[in-house]
DNA sequence: ATCCCGCATT
DNA sequence: AATGCAGGAT
């Protein structure tokens, strides 16, 4: 059975959902919200950010941890996430809070550094790499895995998924970011835990479709 | 595999 | 009352 290439999937997603969005906020806000959104609805992140004003790393490092915890309370896991945000901010201080300086560093090195921070796993690291650091490192989340699984690709681990996307596309962080956003949108609209196959752009080719 | 945590939705 | 949500650590 012929399967769609990564590029073909992308084209169909754009056709279905239109011009993709981008992760909102300053680079530091993007890094912070990537932590806040872990296992949490985006609406909760918006709530915390609205009450926050504009997060700034130097201030976060001066702030008492308890205050930081209260600020991010709506997002849940506040003790762990507050600690993680501090870890990220300390890491960022190593670059003088200078995003261009960080961006001048290689993808591999940045990724290793981020994965070394407690509270940052592969998904969060890749989201930060793409949206804040402008590096092409494909974001693989639960929606992505579920979609590919239902589509019958038969991937057994994230390495295969990464190869599927990264070998079939130009190594362009913008494409990766847009692609991730489209997969997320698709997951929310049709391919969530409980699939809604009515009106799905892939319902004619998807072996996992529910009739 | 299980626990971590707050909130919206059902 | 139960479930689910842009996960991660143990």
Query: pLDDT, tens digit, for every residue of A106-158?
Result: 999 999 999 999 999 999 999 999 999 999 999 999 999 999 999 999 999 99
Residue A103: predicted pLDDT: 98
Beta strands in A107-201 (DSSP E): none
- Indicate if the pLDDT at residue A166 is higher than 90: yes
DSSP state of A114: H
Strand B contact at CB of residue A80, distance < 7 A: yes
For residues A159 and A115, is the Cβ–Cβ distance under 8 A? no
Share of chain A above pLDDT 70, in %: 100
- Give the per-residue pLDDT at A211: 76
- Residue A210, pLDDT score: 87
Does residue A118 contact residue A87 with C-beta atoms inside 8 Å?
Answer: yes
For residue A22, give both structure tokens.
């981008």
A75: left (phi over 0), alpha (psi -120 to 50) or beta: alpha
Are A39 and A77 in contact by the 8 Å Cβ rule? The answer is: yes
Rounded CA separation A172/A169 (Å): 8
CATH 1.10.340.30 domain range(s) in chain A: 27-131
- Rounded mean pLDDT of A177-190? 97
Q: How much is the pTM?
A: 0.97
Other residues' Cβ atoms within 10 Å of the Cβ of residue A31: 29
A206 vs A46: CA distance, rounded Å: 34
**Does A27-131 carry CATH code 1.10.340.30?**
yes
pLDDT greater than 90 at residue A45:
yes
Kindly list the protein residues whose beta carbon lies within 7 Å of any strand C atom. A 23, 33-34, 37-42, 44, 76-77, 80, 117-125, 127, 141-143, 180-181, 184, 187-188, 192-194
Among all strands, which nt has the closest C1' to A180 (CA)?
Answer: C6
pLDDT over 80 (residue A48): yes
How does the average pLDDT of chain A come out, rounded? 97
Handedness of CA A186, A192, A198, A200 (dihedral sign): positive
Q: Confidence band (pLDDT; 50, 70, 90) for A101?
A: very high
Residue A5 carries which DSSP code? -
- What is the Cα–Cα distance from A106 to A123, expressed in whole angstroms? 18
- Say how far A40 CA is from C1 C1', in Å: 21
Q: Radius of gyration (Cα) for chain A, nearest Å?
A: 18
Nearest nucleotide to A139 (CA to C1') is: C6
């Amino acid at each position: 059975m012929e399967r769609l290439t990564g590029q073909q999937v992308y084209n169909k997603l754009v056709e279905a959902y239109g011009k993709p969005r981008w992760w909102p906020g300053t680079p530091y806000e993007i890094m912070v919200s990537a932590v806040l959104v872990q296992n949490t609805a985006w609406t909760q992140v918006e709530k915390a950010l609205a009450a926050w004003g504009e997060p700034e790393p130097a201030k976060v490092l001066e702030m008492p941890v308890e205050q930081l915890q209260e600020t991010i309370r709506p997002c849940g896991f506040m003790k762990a996430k507050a600690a993680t945000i501090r870890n990220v901010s300390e890491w960022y201080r190593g670059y003088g809070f200078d995003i261009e300086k960080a961006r001048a560093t290689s993808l591999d090195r940045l990724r290793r550094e981020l994965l070394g921070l407690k509270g940052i796993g592969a998904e969060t690291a890749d989201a930060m790499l793409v949206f804040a650091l402008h590096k092409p490192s494909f974001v693989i989340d639960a929606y992505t895995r579920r979609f590919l699984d239902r589509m019958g690709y038969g991937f057994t681990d994230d390495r295969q998924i990464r190869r599927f996307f990264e070998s079939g596309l130009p190594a362009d962080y913008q494409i990766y970011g847009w692609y991730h956003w489209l997969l997320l949108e698709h997951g929310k609209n049709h391919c969530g835990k409980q699939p809604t196959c009515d009106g799905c752009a892939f319902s004619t080719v998807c072996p996992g479709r529910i009739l």
